[in-house]
Amino acid sequence: MDFSQFINQFLGREIFTLFFKVFSVVFSLLYLIYSLVIYKQTQVMTRTLESQETTLIQLISLIQIIIGLALLFVSLLIV
Protein backbone atom coordinates (compact mmCIF):
# COMPACT_ATOMS: atom_id res chain seq x y z
CA MET A 1 0.00 0.00 0.00
CA ASP A 2 1.50 3.30 -1.00
CA PHE A 3 0.92 6.66 0.61
CA SER A 4 -1.87 7.85 -1.70
CA GLN A 5 -3.91 4.70 -1.09
CA PHE A 6 -3.43 5.12 2.64
CA ILE A 7 -4.62 8.74 2.52
CA ASN A 8 -7.64 7.84 0.37
CA GLN A 9 -8.59 5.04 2.71
CA PHE A 10 -8.14 7.15 5.83
CA LEU A 11 -9.97 10.19 4.47
CA GLY A 12 -12.75 8.16 2.97
CA ARG A 13 -15.46 6.41 4.89
CA GLU A 14 -13.34 5.58 7.95
CA ILE A 15 -12.92 9.20 8.97
CA PHE A 16 -16.69 9.70 8.92
CA THR A 17 -17.32 6.62 11.06
CA LEU A 18 -14.55 7.61 13.46
CA PHE A 19 -16.06 11.08 13.80
CA PHE A 20 -19.51 9.59 14.37
CA LYS A 21 -18.24 7.17 17.02
CA VAL A 22 -16.26 9.80 18.90
CA PHE A 23 -19.17 12.24 18.77
CA SER A 24 -21.62 9.64 20.06
CA VAL A 25 -19.40 8.66 23.00
CA VAL A 26 -18.67 12.28 23.95
CA PHE A 27 -22.34 13.26 23.64
CA SER A 28 -23.39 10.28 25.76
CA LEU A 29 -20.88 11.16 28.48
CA LEU A 30 -21.99 14.79 28.50
CA TYR A 31 -25.64 13.79 28.75
CA LEU A 32 -24.85 11.39 31.60
CA ILE A 33 -23.00 14.14 33.48
CA TYR A 34 -25.91 16.51 32.83
CA SER A 35 -28.44 14.00 34.16
CA LEU A 36 -26.35 13.38 37.29
CA VAL A 37 -26.17 17.12 37.97
CA ILE A 38 -29.93 17.43 37.47
CA TYR A 39 -30.48 14.53 39.91
CA LYS A 40 -28.28 16.20 42.52
CA GLN A 41 -30.11 19.50 42.07
CA THR A 42 -33.41 17.68 42.42
CA GLN A 43 -32.28 16.18 45.71
CA VAL A 44 -31.28 19.60 47.03
CA MET A 45 -34.58 21.07 45.86
CA THR A 46 -36.67 18.36 47.54
CA ARG A 47 -34.85 18.93 50.83
CA THR A 48 -35.45 22.66 50.59
CA LEU A 49 -38.96 22.74 49.16
CA GLU A 50 -41.54 20.23 50.27
CA SER A 51 -44.21 19.44 47.71
CA GLN A 52 -46.51 16.62 46.69
CA GLU A 53 -44.77 16.17 43.34
CA THR A 54 -41.30 15.48 44.73
CA THR A 55 -41.47 11.76 44.00
CA LEU A 56 -42.52 12.44 40.41
CA ILE A 57 -39.69 14.92 39.91
CA GLN A 58 -37.17 12.48 41.38
CA LEU A 59 -38.53 9.71 39.18
CA ILE A 60 -38.09 11.86 36.08
CA SER A 61 -34.51 12.66 37.04
CA LEU A 62 -33.80 8.96 37.64
CA ILE A 63 -35.25 8.14 34.22
CA GLN A 64 -32.84 10.68 32.73
CA ILE A 65 -29.92 8.90 34.39
CA ILE A 66 -31.11 5.56 33.00
CA ILE A 67 -31.41 7.08 29.53
CA GLY A 68 -27.91 8.52 29.87
CA LEU A 69 -26.49 5.14 30.87
CA ALA A 70 -28.31 3.45 27.99
CA LEU A 71 -26.96 6.01 25.52
CA LEU A 72 -23.44 5.50 26.82
CA PHE A 73 -23.80 1.72 26.59
CA VAL A 74 -25.12 1.88 23.03
CA SER A 75 -22.44 4.34 21.95
CA LEU A 76 -19.72 2.11 23.38
CA LEU A 77 -21.18 -0.86 21.53
CA ILE A 78 -21.05 1.11 18.30
CA VAL A 79 -17.35 1.70 18.84
Q: What is the pLDDT of residues 4-55, one digit of tens each?
A: 666 666 666 677 777 888 899 999 999 999 999 999 999 999 888 887 888 8
pLDDT recorded at residue 4: 67
Can you spell out the DSSP letters for the chain?
--HHHHHHHIIIIIHHHHHHHHHHHHHHHHHHHHHHHHHHHHHHHHHHS--TTHHHHHHHHHHHHHHHHHHHHHHHHH-
The band of 60, judged by pLDDT with boundaries at 50, 70 and 90, is very high
What is the domain count for the chain? 1
What average pLDDT does this structure show over 58-68? 95
Question: Do residues 61 and 35 lie in contact, with contact meaning Cβ atoms separated by under 8 Å?
Answer: yes
What pLDDT is attached to residue 1?
A: 56
Domain that holds residue 19: 3-78
